[in-house]
A = this chain, B = another copy of it.
Amino acid sequence: MKRKPSTEATAAWIRLMRVQSRVLDAVEQDLKKAGFPPLAWYDALLELSRAPSGEMRPVELEKQMLIPQYSTSRLIDRLVDEGLAARRECKIDKRGQFVEITEAGRELQKKMWTAYSAAIEKHIGSKLSDADAAKLSGLLDRLGCSCGEAQMQAARDGAPAR
């Protein structure tokens, strides 16, 4: 008798959920213990630092990070409050704005990458050969309909999450 989702598919689903939640928790905890803000901040800072002249529109950030609009808005609030980014007026579209990363923001991003990369190594790298990691990536890609294009470039100096 054939079941609708095969046992294999269901098992994969369960693991995808459980393993990512465990690994994410572990990494977030490592960062927190090292005294850093949550991963989402890192992601935002990384995106900003990569943007030409260190600034981008909130809408762009939103698309890159795959988070809801209001969430982006408030994330930016917090970054600005902490002096990690600044809002700039957008001359070509007065509804909008630019968000520019500050020096402090760039520094934090770099510092975080130390702890962050160590965590990735600890929780992923050390448990999987490069070949297996690549296999895993390949399989995941088939589910996610791509993680965008820039992923290999991403891995160059900082990995965006979520």
Q: Identify the A interface with B (CB < 8 A).
A: 3-24, 66, 117-118, 120-121, 123-125, 127-128, 130-137, 139-145, 147, 151-152, 154-156, 159-162
Contact = CB atoms under 8 A, between A and B. Distances in A.
Given A18-B66, A143-B127, A159 B13 contact: yes
Given A22-B144, A144-B19, A9 B161 contact: no
Copies of this chain, whole number: 2
A21 to B, nearest CB: 5
Contact of A155 (B7, B132, B134, B159): B7
Contacts of A161: 13-14, 17-18
Given A142-B132, A144-B22, A155-B7, A120 B16 contact: no
Nearest to A156: B7
Contact of A13 (B124, B132, B135, B139): B124
Contacts of A23: 13, 16, 143-144
Given A14-B151, A14-B155, A5 B139 contact: no
Given A130-B6, A155-B7, A136 B125 contact: no
A11 B133 contact: yes
A90 to B, nearest CB: 28
